[in-house]
Structure 1
Amino acid sequence: MVLRDKDIREPLFDFLEETYGKIRILEEKNMGKSRADLVMVLPDALCGIEIKSDADTYARLAGQVRDYDRYYDFNIAVAGATHGMHICEHVPDYWGVITAELVEGEVDFYFLRKPRYNPKMSWEKKLEILWRPELAQIQEWNGMPKYKDKSKHFVSGKIAERIPEKIPEDVLRRQISGLLFERDYNEAPRILAEYRKGEIQKKLDLESDPARQAELMMEQAEKRNFFQRKRRRGRRR
């Protein structure tokens, strides 16, 4: 039997939970020009996981590896039997490798190689995994300026500049993981809308030009309508 991605995922979740204990799995997360199949949230680290089923090829793997290496503390390749003998040749030696085989009708997993710390991880890229309100929480916890009008990219860079002199790496790892453990995707539109609405309201309170006030009020209304439409689409799905 050829093991496909869908055959591997569900039993893999159980295997990872048995191996690592407290985890949260996030699926299909964008990272640069690629997409991580899975991101395993651990209490003090993020681990990217690329699944290479028996139906997959190595055609895009080199580019995917570059993207995984920018975002995650550790990375693991999970390979079906077709790739089990050669997967180690296609990923860096600090990547973990798990093989997946069908044994007596069930998918069996084996650690061919345990993952080691990824030396190419960029703190700035890792921080960009967080939503803007989550970054604001990181800023508050670490006594940073709010940078109210700045982009997520800008704020991620400012946080990264404080590592490790003002923000110890182990502290930031736990803070990021804690936020991702608590993230509620059902509440995403409301959280983002409220954050954005609050930022616009603060500008309104400080603005004395009537024309600029009108622009901000229009922007606030557009944001509110956008997220209301998004919630309705979400309910239909």
Structure 2
Amino acid sequence: MEELYIDDKIRLYDEDIREPLFDHLEQVYGKIRFFEEKIIGKSRADVIAICCDRIVGVEIKSDVDTYERLKSQVRNYNKFCDFNYIAVGRSHERHVEKHVPKEWGILVVYVEDEEICIMEQRPATLNPKMKQDIQISMMWRPELQRILTKNKLPQYKQKSKKFVQQKLIEKMEWTELKLQMCEELFERDYTLWDEELELYKQTSKRK
């Protein structure tokens, strides 16, 4: 951690915040997987966390960051995530709540006795602006096919990915579909994606 002293307090950078933040969220949610720097809509999410029954977004604003792009970032997090947090350095502590919706949780990250600590200034509550058709767009086509198979639904091999997404939303209870989406996302292996996609394409051509 590179130390930057302002007003006799140590200011934290993004890279200082991430690992303590992940530890904190693991304590809160238990089983959890983190995806960093993922595109959501027109923004890049700092962290998308997958839990067993929810998708959690986390935007990080370190002591040296500004709120310049936060308004548009909030809009995109809200479309994709069930719960959202903003994790901030202590320089933002007094005014951050003015910049995020009331449903967003606020985590304040600071240094005390040479250790990085996290204080929950405000808990996150359910985001009412999440869009089911947008959230399910996070899923890869082979993942959608596995969900279809698991639920004994038609495979829709010749249909578009968007068509399959809509059919799943129509034919399944959202709570059950969410559980299965989270299970797929939790097990996602990026190292196998190219191979898996090619296999899916070849299988589709033969049918």
Q: Structure 1 length as normaliser, TM-score?
A: 0.80
Structure 2 gap segments, 5+ residues each: 1-9
Size of the aligned set, in residue pairs, is 198
What's the CA shift for 1:107? 1.3
Equivalent residue of 2:101, what SS?
coil
What's the CA shift for 1:197? 1.6
Partner of 1:223 in structure 2?
A: none
What's the CA shift for 1:121? 0.7
Percentage of identical aligned residues: 44
Larger RCO: 1 or 2 (CA < 8 Å, sep 6+): 2
Q: What amino acid does structure 2 have at the position aligned with 1:180?
A: L
Partner of 1:114 in structure 2?
A: 123
1:146 to 132, 155, 160: 155
Partner of 1:63 in structure 2?
A: 72
The structure where helix makes up a greater share of residues is 1
1:73 to 72, 78, 82: 82
Deviation string for 1:115-137 (max 9, x for gaps)? Answer: 11111111111111111100111
Deviation string for 1:16-51 (max 9, x for gaps)? Answer: 112221111111111110011111111111101111
Structure 1 gap segments, 5+ residues each: 203-237
- C-alpha distance in 1 between matches for 2:198 and 2:21: 35
Partner of 2:189 in structure 1?
A: 184
Does structure 2 retain, via aligned residues, the 8 Å contact 1:74–1:116? yes
Partner of 2:113 in structure 1?
A: 104
- Kindly report which structure 2 residues correspond to 1:164-183, keeping only aligned pairs within 5 A, or say none: 166-183=171-188
1:89 has 2:98 as partner:
yes
Q: What amino acid does structure 2 have at the position aligned with 1:109?
A: I
Q: What amino acid does structure 1 have at the position aligned with 2:122?
A: R
Q: What amino acid does structure 1 have at the position aligned with 2:174?
A: E
- Kindly report which structure 2 residues correspond to 1:123-162, keeping only aligned pairs within 5 A, or say none: 123-160=132-169, 162=170
Equivalent residue of 2:77, what SS?
helix
- C-alpha distance in 1 between matches for 2:15 and 2:159: 40
Does structure 2 retain, via aligned residues, the 8 Å contact 1:127–1:135? no
- Kindly report which structure 2 residues correspond to 1:4-23, keeping only aligned pairs within 5 A, or say none: 4-23=13-32
- C-alpha distance in 2 between matches for 1:137 and 1:37: 28
Partner of 1:52 in structure 2?
A: 61
Q: What amino acid does structure 2 have at the position aligned with 1:115?
A: A
Deviation string for 1:100-147 (max 9, x for gaps)? Answer: 111122211011111111111111111111111001112222333222
What's the CA shift for 1:81? 0.9
- C-alpha distance in 1 between matches for 2:60 and 2:159: 36
1:38 to 47, 50, 60: 47
Cα RMSD, aligned residues only: 1.3
Larger Rg: 1
The structure where strand makes up a greater share of residues is 2
Equivalent residue of 1:99, what SS?
strand
Does structure 2 retain, via aligned residues, the 8 Å contact 1:46–1:73? yes
Q: What amino acid does structure 2 have at the position aligned with 1:190?
A: E
- C-alpha distance in 2 between matches for 1:31 and 1:155: 20
Does structure 2 retain, via aligned residues, the 8 Å contact 1:37–1:50? yes
